[in-house]
Amino acid sequence: MLFNPINKSYYDYAIERDKEACINCEVCVRQCSYGAHFWDDVRKSVRHDSSKCVGCHRCEAFCPTACLTIRHKPTEFRENAVWNPKFLKYIYKQADTGGVLLGGMGCPTNIPVYWDKLLLDASQVTNPSIDPLREPMELKTFLGTKPSRLEFEEASEGPRLKTKIGPQLELEVPIMFAAMSFGAINFNLHVAMARAATASGTMYNTGEGGLHRSLYKYGKNTIVQVASGRFGVHSDYLNAGAAVEIKIGQGAKPGIGGHLPGEKIDARVSETRMVPIGSDAISPAPHHDIYSIEDLHQLIYAIKEATAYTKPVSVKIAAVHNAPAIASGVVRAGADIVVVDGMRGGTGAAPAMIRDNVGLPMELALAAVDQRLRDEGIRNRASIVASGGIRCSADAVKAIALGADAVYIGTATLISVGCTVCGRCYTGKCPWGIATNEASLAKRQNPDVAAEKMANLIKAWGHEIQEMLGGMGLNSIESLRGNRDKLRGVGLNDTELDILGVKHAGR
């Protein structure tokens, strides 16, 4: 009989240490929050335990002599087309623990990424390209309900708009920082996102963890979220932001709720979320006052009443098979913005089986939602935001061409401040100081430095979007929205092309 659980023999990464280069400085010991490196008093040297390595690469990045290399463990299971090694490891682990397998970040499963099978059109002679360095190029985006027609009236100073337009979110670029709750990520990162959004003229989303009162001053660039747990939701909170988002579903875990472990709930998180220190914060799967579109309508208008009809209300849904019908109901219920969140969206923690097997790629859901709202003649009544798996500016441009007004970026935001997508967010031991509230780790993120990096990312993507628009002969992001003729598919079948509403390359 084995004395150690069998799954401990089948770990994922191997730490290689060049003993000639290692100077036993213990930097790796101090940097590894998982205890993979340690000082051996007997051998008087730094040693390591590869079974504890999560592949975050922080030790490798900080090693002053570059003596460390992190590789996938070379051990290979016997080849089997059905029993992929990951399933063997899953079973070994569950046989030992009897627990649900957890995973952080987005879905790693090899499901087609449709962005990589879509190409952008470019201009030549008859529709010449535009040079964004020398000609005006408009990226400004307004999110919110738009009237079906505009009426003007004569005034002494000239024609004056008579039609009343609902509250709008004004973005300098069509990119926003996605919902990541205070608790799932720490206070330093929330401060950084608020500052970066303000500097970039865009918005950041609080996620379902409420908003610390010290961040109310960034309200003009804040979207506050109302989720099923209603953590930190009160009148001041609803009025603190520029918009309110109701989270019905999340792309990384459609159909289930959330769970923030008690060890992540310190005094500041407790104060903001209005839950006791050290207690688990559990979000139920459904809102217990929403079981129909009529119930959702009631909540939307309760929020509009509470905010004196001065803020747009957004509703976030997961990309599932009936997302177009759901989106139609959401718009008819009074939502000003619909967020479509795909299965590649990140999360602090989700059951691995849910994360990897439930939901749809955002590209398909986005195109279907946009087309459904157009077919029903209500597309102007709500803006669409695409979320879940936006990796670069080209993905954002393609999303807008498929019908989005703007995009959310979450994982990309965290990568910009050092995240290596190791997927262990749920442990609370993030070595990069992101998904942790442990003081010694959280201080690895300087809010000023992080804000600058996030703002630089938005700035860089904005420049690239302008270049791509110019290459298509367009001088405004408005001209690209839903303009699927600017896209061509490669290696897609007829059904996929039909859902996406694009032609195959060569046509």
Domain assignment present for 383: yes
Same domain, yes or no, for 464 and 344?
yes
Q: Vertex 171, ends 188 and 468: CA angle to 5°?
A: 105
Short-list 185, 190, 188, 224, CA closest to 208: 224
Q: Does the pLDDT of residue 150 top 90, yes or no?
A: no
Same domain, yes or no, for 348 and 425?
yes
Q: pLDDT value at position 77?
A: 85
Domain tally, the chain: 2
| Tokens linked to 432 | 């990069």
Beta-strand ranges (E) seen in 235-280 are 243-247, 258-260
CA–CA distance, 461 with 450 (Å, rounded to integer)? 17
Same domain, yes or no, for 373 and 455?
yes
Q: Does 59 belong to an annotated binding site? A: yes
Q: Is 158 helix (H, G, I), strand (E, B) or coil?
A: strand
Q: Does 67 belong to an annotated binding site? A: no
Residue 80's Cα: distance from chain center in Å? 34
Contact of 71 with 14, CB cutoff 8 Å:
yes
**For 379-423, what is each residue's pLDDT tens digit?**
999 999 999 999 999 999 999 999 999 999 999 999 999 999 999
Q: For residue 206, what are the CA distances in angstroms to 67, 194, 211? A: 40, 9, 6
Same domain, yes or no, for 95 and 176?
no
CA–CA distance, 29 with 14 (Å, rounded to integer)? 16
Structural domain boundaries enclosing 290: 141-145+162-504
**Average pLDDT, whole number, for the chain?**
93
Domain assignment present for 70: yes
Q: Does 392 belong to an annotated binding site? A: no
Q: Does the pLDDT of residue 1 top 80, yes or no?
A: no
Domain assignment present for 484: yes
Same domain, yes or no, for 225 and 339?
yes
Q: Does 425 belong to an annotated binding site? A: no
Q: For residue 244, what are the CA distances in angstroms to 206, 324, 370? A: 10, 22, 22
Q: pLDDT value at position 4?
A: 66
Provide the phi-psi class of 306: left if phi over 0, else alpha when psi is between -120 and 50, else beta. alpha
Same domain, yes or no, for 257 and 339?
yes
CA–CA distance, 228 with 248 (Å, rounded to integer)? 8
Same domain, yes or no, for 191 and 79?
no
**For 364-377, what is each residue's pLDDT tens digit?**
999 999 999 999 99
Same domain, yes or no, for 233 and 365?
yes
Same domain, yes or no, for 81 and 214?
no
* CATH assignment of the domain containing 60: 3.30.70.20
CA–CA distance, 451 with 191 (Å, rounded to integer)? 8
Domain assignment present for 493: yes
Q: Does 419 belong to an annotated binding site? A: no
Query: What is the band of 263 on the pLDDT scale with cuts at 50, 70, 90?
Result: confident
Domain assignment present for 436: yes
Same domain, yes or no, for 79 and 174?
no
User: How many percent of the chain have pLDDT more than 90?
Assistant: 77
| Tokens linked to 359 | 């939901």
Domain assignment present for 346: yes
Domain assignment present for 67: yes
Query: Looking at 99, 115, 130, which one is the last position of a domain?
Result: 99
Q: pLDDT value at position 467?
A: 96
Same domain, yes or no, for 78 and 227?
no
Q: Does 32 belong to an annotated binding site? A: yes
Q: Does 56 belong to an annotated binding site? A: yes
Judged on CB neighbours under 10 Å (0-12, 13-18, 19+), 306 is middle
Q: Does the pLDDT of residue 314 top 50, yes or no?
A: yes
* CATH assignment of the domain containing 200: 3.20.20.70
> Which single residue is written with the structure tokens 């918005």?
203
Domain assignment present for 331: yes
Full-model pTM: 0.93
Same domain, yes or no, for 85 and 226?
no
**For 219-244, what is each residue's pLDDT tens digit?**
999 999 999 989 989 999 999 999 99
